[in-house]
Amino acid sequence: MDRVALRGLKARGHHGVFPREREEGQTFIVDLVLGLDTRPAAATDDLAKTVHYGVVAEEVVAVVEGEPVDLIETLAERIAGQCLKHEGVQEVEVVVHKPDAPITVPFDDVTITITRSRV
């Protein structure tokens, strides 16, 4: 299976369990690795035979900016589901970064990584 990766998609969302997170929002960063067969697109040089990663990026940002959820696990699941709606995408790895998580000690990042497939 071939891989198309999108790294560092940024969007402001209102996800989290604390009222401040819901009210003020924060930046979330999403990395995706889409698993698909790119041979038909390569053989014909036809965008319609692969995944349009620009469209995927817009859809993922819309999910992050959309309906708030408590957990980044839930957010990652929603993103994966959106990616799998694309016909050619057989598998997706989603990493959601929450660099501004409400943690009281110094840290660089909080992430959740999930892998989902059609099977």
Contact in structure between 70 and 16 (CB atoms under 8 Å): yes
Question: Is 98 part of the annotated catalytic residue set?
Answer: yes
> Which position among 10, 49, 85, 98 bears the catalytic label?
98
3-class secondary structure per residue, 79-112: HHHHHHCCCCCCEEEEEEECCCCCCCCCCCCCEE
CA 58/CA 83 separation, integer angstroms: 11
Nearest 5°: phi and psi at 59?
A: -65, -40
Active site residues: 98
